[in-house]
Structure 1
Amino acid sequence: MPNVRAVPTVRRRRLGDALRTYRTSAGMSQDSAGRAMGWDESKMSRIEGAKARMRPQDIAPLLKLYGVTDPDVVAKLEALAKDAGKQGWWHAYGDVVGLSYKDYLTLESDAESTHIYAPGLIPGLLQTGAYAREIIAATAMTHTPEEVVALAEIRKTRQAILTKPGRPLKLWAVIHEAALHQRFASYPSLMREQLRHLLDMADLPNITIQIMPLAATPHPGMLGLFHVVRFPQPWPTVVNLENIRGGYFVEGTEDVKLFETAFDRVVAAALSVDDSRETIKNLLERNTT
């Protein structure tokens, strides 16, 4: 059977980045590390560049070479190597899911928590099916009606991560109050259902929802939507930014820290959790259609 070239998936890139960090911390070159492992001269470069597969059984010897023996770190990198080429459930939808979205779904499935500021809409993990279809139809401008339906199904399926047994994703969402006043002419009761769903989701212990009031003081979130996605150690935090063409990632340590600080300031400018719940309840009571 011919060799199949490794596809640089987001998991493989994260593994390569981690191995590069440990190697440089140990003061070793790619050539010297590769020779010590008995590999050809280009293999280390290809592994760190996410262009070659890393066998899980090679993780512990390589990390030992770098002076890393923490069993938790070894186990996590072994697991990542094992799953590096694994395809998620969303691959069944083919090209409907763009490359950047596939990368984000992979990150989300591995994440420990995500912090989201949403200035203009309800975050995808908190949307009802009807709301998702309406929003996707309005914003996914290059997709067919069939693709809109598929993307709405994907968005709803994603939400299972919030109730996953054992380790549900921790979600902290700050939603601008303006998003709660949205109306849908073709579905008058849609927003009422969505508001009720927000209250139900806020009851889950792993979900925190705050509302940014219309009269809020200025804050960094005024510049747009962002997600701060956090992982168990040793994986670094990643930021996802979205626009009308899709999403892209911010991964540099200093840049990520800037967004983490921005989220803290967004939280400080928003209503408290209790006041946010009351705001949603009041809007639900006033929304009688």
Structure 2
Amino acid sequence: MLSTQVTAPSAHDQEPNVIDSTARYSPSVRRRRLSRELRRLREGTNLTADEVGRRLEWSQGKLSAMETNKWKRPNPRDIKDLCELYETDDATREALMTMARESRKRGWWEDEYGDVLGSAYVGFEQEARSLHAYQPLVIPGLLQTPAYIRALARGDLARDADEIDRRLEMRMTRQKILEHEDPLTMWVIIDEAALVRPFGSTADQREQLQRLVDTDALEHVTLQILPFDAGLHAGLACGFVILSYTQDPSIVYLETGGGNALYLDKPEDLERHSVRFQHLQASALAPDASIRFLSEMISQLE
């Protein structure tokens, strides 16, 4: 049965169309959840998508798009019609209608930075309860310093000063999720290759390494370094992120370059990457040793 626990509106929801950066829920995640629940309800009635479309006089493919999360702003009227057809109880109907209304809002990343590279990913990160990531080439976005973010943008061929500033602003706003009263729990493994790649000044490099060392004081952040002397290991193919949720299936995020990405949610994809992450944990330095490794790198910078 669909959970009828619904997030109550709070002070930050006074603006009806935009969710601000202090919120810990995401329209992207709510749309995904709504799609999954609509499909489950239809299957429970033993109706096909075509049969539902004919009964409601909808265009071909409309319900399929709704059930596969290929929509942006769910229409509450459509949800109401489906609830009537499926003969749902009042609690289920209200939960679905609330999800539809929340799904129609715009997150701060869409409202302010919808055209910035990587903004789509933020929608899934915003409501995640935990994040497990392996980064072979760059420092994870949530742990980057302003100087590193700017250098990374220029390395990605961003030349317009306004574009670089907007990338910086969005990433720094993203990082607030680690300072939230209900913060994201994060376990990240960083390959030594990402640490030794030079950028900016020596002071910039020292600041970035110190930012990583400072995570040792955060109970909700665990960091491991995978040194070169680990040899060939399970993460040589590519980096990845596993996002886990309280009410929703986990997602595996793979960056494919050029602003493109894959979002995988099949059980076999999650299992494969979870096993890979466990192997990387075993190959990497322990958290305490990783902090010492980083501190030693700082001391060696001239």
Calculate the TM-score normalised by the size of structure 2: 0.76
SS of aligned partner of 1:173: strand
Residues 71-150 of structure 1 aligned to structure 2 (within 5 Å): 79-94=98-113, 96-98=115-117, 101-139=118-156, 141=157, 144-150=160-166
Which of 227, 238, 252 aligns to 1:239? It is 252
Distance in 2 between residues matched to 1:63 and 1:173, nearest whole Å:
46
Mean Cα deviation higher: 73-82 or 210-219: 73-82
Q: Which runs of 5+ in 1 are unaligned?
A: 1-7
Which residue of structure 2 aligns with residue 164 of structure 1?
180
Distance in 1 between residues matched to 2:270 and 2:291, nearest whole Å:
29
The question of whether the paired residues in 1 share the 8 Å contact of 2:29 and 2:127 is answered with no
The question of whether the paired residues in 1 share the 8 Å contact of 2:113 and 2:166 is answered with no
- 1:243-265 residue CA offsets vs partner (Å, 9 max, x unmatched): 33124222222122211221111
Which residue of structure 1 aligns with residue 46 of structure 2?
27
Distance in 2 between residues matched to 1:119 and 1:66, nearest whole Å:
50
Which of 243, 254, 268 aligns to 2:282? It is 268
Which residue of structure 2 aligns with residue 3 of structure 1?
none
The question of whether the paired residues in 1 share the 8 Å contact of 2:145 and 2:211 is answered with yes
SS of aligned partner of 2:189: strand
- 1:12-67 residue CA offsets vs partner (Å, 9 max, x unmatched): 344213421443356333366679xx8445564453254462539958x9499598
The question of whether the paired residues in 2 share the 8 Å contact of 1:133 and 1:152 is answered with yes
Calculate the TM-score normalised by the size of structure 1: 0.80
Which of 171, 178, 181 aligns to 1:155? It is 171
Which of 57, 76, 82 aligns to 1:55? It is 76
CA distance 1:79–1:272, change in 2 (3 Å): farther
Residues 135-214 of structure 1 aligned to structure 2 (within 5 Å): 135-139=152-156, 141=157, 144-165=160-181, 167-184=182-199, 186-214=200-228
Q: Which runs of 5+ in 2 are unaligned?
A: 1-26
AA aligned to 2:194 is: A
| 2:293 corresponds to 1:279 | yes
Which residue of structure 1 aligns with residue 4 of structure 2?
none
Distance in 2 between residues matched to 1:171 and 1:74, nearest whole Å:
35
Q: RMSD across aligned C-alpha pairs, in angstroms?
A: 3.3
CA distance 1:90–1:221, change in 2 (3 Å): same
Which residue of structure 1 aligns with residue 15 of structure 2?
none
The question of whether the paired residues in 2 share the 8 Å contact of 1:11 and 1:85 is answered with no
Distance in 2 between residues matched to 1:75 and 1:18, nearest whole Å:
13
Residues 242-253 of structure 1 aligned to structure 2 (within 5 Å): 242-248=255-261, 249-253=263-267
CA distance 1:33–1:129, change in 2 (3 Å): same
| 2:31 corresponds to 1:15 | no
Q: CA deviation at 1:88?
A: 1.6
Q: How high is the sequence identity, in percent, across the aligned residues?
A: 32
The question of whether the paired residues in 2 share the 8 Å contact of 1:131 and 1:194 is answered with yes
Q: CA deviation at 1:9?
A: 5.9
Distance in 2 between residues matched to 1:247 and 1:201, nearest whole Å:
29
CA distance 1:65–1:172, change in 2 (3 Å): same
Distance in 1 between residues matched to 2:233 and 2:269, nearest whole Å:
17
- 1:209-232 residue CA offsets vs partner (Å, 9 max, x unmatched): 001011114322111111111111
The number of residue pairs the alignment matches comes to 271
